[in-house]
Chains A and B, each alone.
Chain A
Amino acid sequence: MKATLLIARRELGAYLRSMTGYIIAAAVLIVDGLLFNAFALGGPDKLSAEVLSLFFYFSSGTTIIASVFISMRLLAEERQTGTLVLLTSSPVQDWEIVLGKFLSAFAFLALITLASVYMPALIFVNGKISFGHMAAGYLGLLLLGSATLALGTFGSAIARTQVLAAIFSGCIVVALIVCWLLAKVTEHPLNDVFVSLALHGKHFPPFQSGSVHLRDVIYYLMVTYVALFSATRVIESRRWK
């Protein structure tokens, strides 16, 4: 576990020392702020809880996109620059490498996500919202981000370059989002399968409206686990190739 934390610490340092990290953070906060101002605060009068719900809805979109961009470099860049050998020739298990990379990306995403807290806090100026609603929304954003980052880590493990990694993970994420639409046009029992796979449409709205269901938490944790497990298998299989 020490190796995992070492890798995570180094990787987080790399995010904070690179322009890319700051560009992603700035872009997410700007887009979040614009959407919040234009659609959540603007338009016809709304209840404070509705404003907060809309904030989480828009933030979930930026979180997904940011996760794909944050995770694309994790393993693909190491492969591109030849630094992965430093890790694979060290006494470190492959799962420790993958977990360390994922944790660093998650910590960076969490920093960006929590930096947006001033926006829902603004609702307090003219309205009233519950801290529980805010906590549920942020928990949802972090879980959604965790699942998307893990899918991105898998995409980064199978790709040779960062661009390909972003394309692969983008396709996987879009496929899981589109499951929600497919569920609407398919019949039982197939629609149930699509509904339960849907990354956003099924599992995020409860968080958005302030409810935390165990099934949604488990879904996001399962996606995270399966994606990280697959990424580890990809790294292991490289030793045979």
Chain B
Amino acid sequence: MIEVKGLTKYYGEHAAIRDLNFAIDRGEVIGFLGLNGAGKTTTLKILGCVLLPTAGEVTVDGIDIARDPHEVRRRIGFLPDTPPLYSEMTVGRYLTFAAELRGVPSAAAPRAVAEAEEKTATREVHEELISSLSHGYRQRVGVAQALVHKPKLLILDEPTSGLDPVQIVEMRSTIKVLRGEHTILLSSHILSEISQTCDRLLVIQHGEIVAQGSEQDLATQLGGGGTIEIEVAGTSARAIEVARTVTGIGDCTVIREGDGVALLSLQGAPDLRPKVARALVGNGIDLLRIDRGAARLESIFLKLTKEPEAPAQ
């Protein structure tokens, strides 16, 4: 769906992004991860045909964005970090305007608007003025304008920015609804957000892609291979002994033990969870909880974006 080769963008003398290379397949949900100023927004703006690159080649659905940006824009829906909303319009009028602007015929616009409102759960505010909406609704109307013309590619820059926990959950379910219908590229600071909604991650640091792949791939690349957290009744010794019999499980660490409950961290891919569970239960150990390592993505992110230490003087 997207092919990026040698993408570079300079703002004056400063390189915002340098020689980016990546590809995204149709239907994938990709998370774009990076610290502030890493070059996420610049990259998304170039893919959204808002900015032109200084060098490099980007094709969306086989069309070069520099040669035929007009045609590319028909195929994309773009939500910038601040939703582009006209506060004096009602949600319905605004979405109709966005739909017609993106080439939806006037006769088909009401249906397209209704579908977009359905997917983003904004139907109930159809007649409301945008200026009167809460931040969460504004963000969802922003997503609705991006998908109202049914684009093949949806680019969402920080869709959960500034949302409260309830609104984040709502936005997450909105993105899940869109999965499958669109190829989605989203950036976020919230790591759990990326972890829960994306198939693959692109980690950008100082304008360069430092890693790409699934969470599992990245963990493997960084030598971690992932972790599994288990909570068992009783002591940790027997559970460790049994867990180690499962092929692929490495070091076992006791995180917490007491009151007849032990919390352990097992070095191993999260895919091994069913095998570990069967082994524990088969050996008569009461398994209270099994999950992937909670802090995993954070540690991957920190490793990837860690500044190199300055040489000693």
Name the residue of chain B whose CB is nearest to the CB of A86.
Answer: B84
Say yes or no: A6 contacts B82, CB within 8 Å: no
- For window 1-33 of A, CB contacts with B under 8 Å fall at 2-3, 6-7, 10, 13-14, 17-18
Residue in B48, B71, B101 whose beta carbon sits within 8 Å of that of A6 in the complex:
B101
Q: List 12 A-B contacts (CB under 8 A).
A: A3-B101, A6-B101, A82-B82, A84-B84, A85-B80, A86-B84, A86-B98, A90-B98, A90-B101, A91-B70, A91-B73, A239-B51
Residue in B11, B48, B49, B88 whose beta carbon sits within 8 Å of that of A241 in the complex:
B11
Residue in A6, A14, A85, A92 whose beta carbon sits within 8 Å of that of B86 in the complex:
A14
Tell me which residues across on chain B come within 8 A of A82, comparing CB atoms.
80, 82-84
Say yes or no: B97 contacts A10, CB within 8 Å: yes
Name the residue of chain A whose CB is nearest to the CB of B83.
Answer: A82
Say yes or no: B85 contacts A83, CB within 8 Å: yes
- For window 195-241 of A, CB contacts with B under 8 Å fall at 239-241
Say yes or no: B52 contacts A240, CB within 8 Å: yes
Tell me which residues across on chain B come within 8 A of A18, comparing CB atoms.
88
What is A's interface to B at a CB cutoff of 8 Å?
2-3, 6-7, 10, 13-14, 17-18, 81-93, 239-241
Tell me which residues across on chain A come within 8 A of B84, comparing CB atoms.
81-86
Cα A13 to Cα B87 with chains together (Å): 12
Say yes or no: B50 contacts A83, CB within 8 Å: no
Cα A69 to Cα B49 with chains together (Å): 31
Cα A87 to Cα B74 with chains together (Å): 12
The yes or no answer to B32 lying at the interface (CB within 8 A) is: no
Which 4 pairs of residues, A with B, have the shortest CB-CB distance? Answer: A86-B84, A82-B82, A91-B73, A89-B78
Chain B interface, >50% SS class: loop
Cα A86 to Cα B80 with chains together (Å): 9
The yes or no answer to B150 lying at the interface (CB within 8 A) is: no
Tell me which residues across on chain B come within 8 A of A89, comparing CB atoms.
48-50, 73, 76, 78, 80
Residue in B70, B71, B103, B145 whose beta carbon sits within 8 Å of that of A86 in the complex:
B145
Query: How many whole Å from A4's CB to the nearest CB in chain B?
Result: 11
Query: How many whole Å from B59's CB to the nearest CB in chain A?
Result: 17
What is B's interface to A at a CB cutoff of 8 Å?
11, 48-52, 70-71, 73-74, 76, 78, 80, 82-89, 97-98, 100-103, 145
Say yes or no: A14 contacts B76, CB within 8 Å: no
Say yes or no: A6 contacts B103, CB within 8 Å: no
Query: How many whole Å from A109's CB to the nearest CB in chain B?
Result: 20
Name the residue of chain B whose CB is nearest to the CB of A96.
Answer: B101
Say yes or no: B101 contacts A92, CB within 8 Å: yes
Query: How many whole Å from A135's CB to the nearest CB in chain B?
Result: 35
Say yes or no: A91 contacts B145, CB within 8 Å: no
Tell me which residues across on chain A come within 8 A of B85, comparing CB atoms.
83
Query: How many whole Å from B139's CB to the nearest CB in chain A?
Result: 13
Tell me which residues across on chain A come within 8 A of B70, comparing CB atoms.
91, 93
Name the residue of chain A whose CB is nearest to the CB of B155.
Answer: A89
Say yes or no: B11 contacts A10, CB within 8 Å: no
Name the residue of chain A whose CB is nearest to the CB of B146.
Answer: A89
Tell me which residues across on chain A come within 8 A of B11, comparing CB atoms.
241
Query: How many whole Å from A157's CB to the nearest CB in chain B?
Result: 16
Query: How many whole Å from A223's CB to the nearest CB in chain B?
Result: 29
Cα A13 to Cα B103 with chains together (Å): 20
Residue in A3, A13, A91, A239 whose beta carbon sits within 8 Å of that of B50 in the complex:
A239
Cα A87 to Cα B78 with chains together (Å): 11
Query: How many whole Å from B312's CB to the nearest CB in chain A?
Result: 41
Name the residue of chain B whose CB is nearest to the CB of A88.
Answer: B50
Other than the known A2-B100, A85-B50, A240-B51, what 18 A-B pairs have Cβ atoms closer than 8 Å?
Answer: A3-B101, A6-B100, A6-B101, A10-B86, A13-B89, A14-B89, A17-B88, A81-B87, A82-B80, A82-B82, A82-B84, A83-B85, A86-B98, A88-B50, A89-B76, A90-B73, A92-B73, A239-B52
Name the residue of chain B whose CB is nearest to the CB of A93.
Answer: B70
Cα A85 to Cα B102 with chains together (Å): 13
Name the residue of chain B whose CB is nearest to the CB of A238.
Answer: B51
Say yes or no: B103 contacts A85, CB within 8 Å: no
Query: How many whole Å from A30's CB to the nearest CB in chain B?
Result: 25
Query: How many whole Å from B151's CB to the nearest CB in chain A?
Result: 10
Tell me which residues across on chain B come within 8 A of A85, comparing CB atoms.
48, 50, 78, 80, 84
Cα A93 to Cα B103 with chains together (Å): 13
Tell me which residues across on chain B come within 8 A of A14, comparing CB atoms.
86, 88-89
Query: How many whole Å from B92's CB to the nearest CB in chain A?
Result: 13
Say yes or no: A91 contacts B102, CB within 8 Å: yes
Tell me which residues across on chain B come within 8 A of A91, comparing CB atoms.
70-71, 73-74, 102-103
Cα A7 to Cα B100 with chains together (Å): 10
Tell me which residues across on chain A come within 8 A of B100, comparing CB atoms.
2, 6
Name the residue of chain A whose CB is nearest to the CB of B86.
Answer: A83
Name the residue of chain B whose CB is nearest to the CB of A92.
Answer: B101
Cα A3 to Cα B149 with chains together (Å): 15
